[in-house]
Chain A
Amino acid sequence: MAGKTPIVIDAGTGYTKLGYAGNLDPAHIIPTVVATRDTSKETTLRRQPGLEDLDFYVGDEVNAHKTTHLPMFPIRHGQVEDWDLMERFYEQALFKYLRCEPEEHLFMMSEPPLNTPENRELLAEVMFETFNVKGMYIANQAVLALAASSASNEHAPRELTGTVIDSGDGVTRVIPVSDGCVIPGSIKSIPLAGREITRFIQEFQREREPGVVPPEDAMEVAKNIKENQCYICRDLVREYQRYDAQPDQYFMKYQGQQNITKRPYTLEVGYERFLAPELYFNPEIFSTEYSTPLPDVVDATILSCPIDTRRSLYRNIVLSGGSTLFRNFSRRLQDAVREKVDARVHRNEELTHAKVTPIEVNVLAHPLQKFAVWSGGSILANQEQFVRMCHTKEQYDEVGPSLCRHNLTFTSAC
């Protein structure tokens, strides 16, 4: 491949993932936050004229400057809302974290499933005019997640067709993709995700043993338990009985230390280990407003897609995002969706007396699930064809930002 390694950037609501194509993991994972000087708090005397533009912090440094600077989040619900802030954020991300020369690299940028063409133009303006990049490609997050699954799992089909279940911290989305194109009308989202799971664990523990965990640590403790000790069970009642029969195998301990006083505390972890991830299968336990389980949403999403894509969408259901990492997630989801599909096929056969070819349902877990979007970008940007698919600086100078409204589609992951 000619030139230097392409750079892959996946900007998410919570964290931005940065790194070089061809790597398995992003080089930097930094919070998507920019803190600028809080002008309401200071006198005019201390302000140095002419330097306001440079006086800001991004990512992890924001915490250290909370007293003088105001943290602001340029991305909300996956969409960039403040391009001015985003430009500053990218500046630091490229020059301070990646330390690269943007003029020499091609860029693979990610965009949320329902991004507007205007947003793509704005991104093109920032990248080509501010940073003078050599070339850029904008890829949909769902397509990248599919590519990651397809490249890391030998059982996955090579073509970019499948249903992506993307569950991060704020929202869970089900996105059908056919031959590298998202089917926009059929995207469905569930307003419950990782944050609700953390909150449930926290509340459940407070109900049982109030006062064990210091309140300022409660969120962090619940998050640790969620990430390390939770799993998905087959059947609630049977799981309870298992805990009753062998308590010393199933109940766990969590040891923590209070931040300021260094007082150690011990917390017992019990039923929340399997109850918390039930969020996806019994949302009723968590929310009064939302009660449709994830398998039903997946089924409804696929049924709303064009009829000739449905079989391949059922065949390749792909997980992406940190909240899909629970043990046995894929197996339970697969069983639940398969049960629904089989029941419908059976009923159809009964009514029409015609033989239906069984519908294959596969939910695929893969090793790159946590940073699936970034990893997918890394894989696609490493291909030979990526150079041809990028919009180049010369084309941009010729056409203008509207060039980036459309991007060529990748049709296979390898």
Chain B
Amino acid sequence: MPPFHSIFNQNEKEPPKYPMACGMPILPLRASAQRGPAPVNAIEQDIVDEAINYYRANVLFRNFDLKGAADKVLIYLTLFITQALQRARPTKQECANTWSSLAIESFVLPGDGSFALAGYITAPAQQRELDTIRLYLQQLRAEVCVRLLEKIYPAPVPASPTSSAQVTFPDFRVSHPSKWWLQFAKHRFLNKAL
């Protein structure tokens, strides 16, 4: 079982279904905290959900064969989740603040010399494309932060009736970031970091 790929990948020969920027498709989101180039559609699972769901499996891999353009977005988001997890704070409120600034702070863009994914994501051709990609990535980053926050500080899970009542593991009721997520921040996906 190789790493997991995005369902938004499409055959290279067909005309692209989504508008492109820097070789990445601008995919619709099911919800967006911030306005940007990506449209908000009523779809069940979008690229941000995929990135978060596949994260704990994909981050362990050292190689990733692209199966389509949407995989580039997936790679970018996987690396961003690692970065976000590295900056997680002890309480949910603190973490929300740190992450909201992480999402909008100035970050390295494709085309820049120090951009980690230069081999995957091409440099923008003109100023307009650069603006689009900045807004698109910013929108994705903000959305990852919002959804990931709910994952790593999950709501308390009611103990299932079958289990013995004494101890439930892990105890999610305390407001700590889940160590079951944070441990993955130490893995270097594709041996790269944003």
Contact = CB atoms under 8 A, between A and B. Distances in A.
B168 interface: yes
Contact of A268 (B53, B63, B169): B169
A268 B159 CA distance: 17
Contacts of A285: 60-61
Given A204-B183, A271-B180, A237 B57 contact: yes
Nearest to A203: B186
B157 A237 contact: no
B53 A247 contact: no
A261 interface: no
Interface in A268-297: 268, 270-271, 275, 281-282, 284-285, 288, 291
Nearest to A233: B1
A251 B167 CA distance: 11
Contact of A235 (B1, B61, B159): B1
Given A236-B1, A248-B163, A208 B169 contact: no
Given A236-B57, A247-B170, A248-B169, A209 B160 contact: no
A235 B60 CA distance: 14
The secondary structure that dominates the B interface is: loop
Given A208-B179, A288-B62, A237 B170 contact: no
Interface in A198-229: 204, 207-209
A209 B179 CA distance: 8
B176 interface: no
Contacts of A275: 60
Contact-residue bracket for chain A: 20 to 34
Contacts, number: 62
The listed residue with most B CB atoms (<10 A of its CB), out of A235, A240, A241, A252, is A240
B92 interface: no
A248 B162 CA distance: 10
Contacts of A240: 53, 56-57
B120 interface: no
A253 interface: yes
A352 interface: no
Contact of B4 (A237, A247, A248, A268): A237
A249 interface: yes
Contacts of A208: 179-180, 182-183
A270 B1 contact: no
A221 to B, nearest CB: 17
Nearest to B164: A248
A357 interface: no
Nearest to A286: B60
Interface in A330-379: none
Interface in B35-69: 53-54, 56-57, 60-63
Interface in B1-40: 1-2, 4
B59 to A, nearest CB: 10
B191 to A, nearest CB: 9
Given A237-B54, A248-B159, A284-B62, A268 B170 contact: yes
Nearest to B62: A284
Nearest to B183: A208
A252 B179 contact: no
Contacts of B1: 235-236, 281-282
Nearest to B53: A237
A48 interface: no
A246 interface: yes
Contact of B63 (A235, A253, A284): A284
6 contacts: A235-B1, A244-B154, A247-B168, A282-B1, A284-B61, A284-B63
Interface of B: 1-2, 4, 53-54, 56-57, 60-63, 154, 157, 159-160, 162-163, 167-170, 172, 179-180, 182-183, 186
Given A241-B53, A246-B160, A282-B2, 12 more contacts: A208-B182, A236-B1, A236-B56, A237-B53, A247-B170, A248-B157, A248-B168, A253-B167, A253-B169, A270-B180, A271-B56, A285-B60
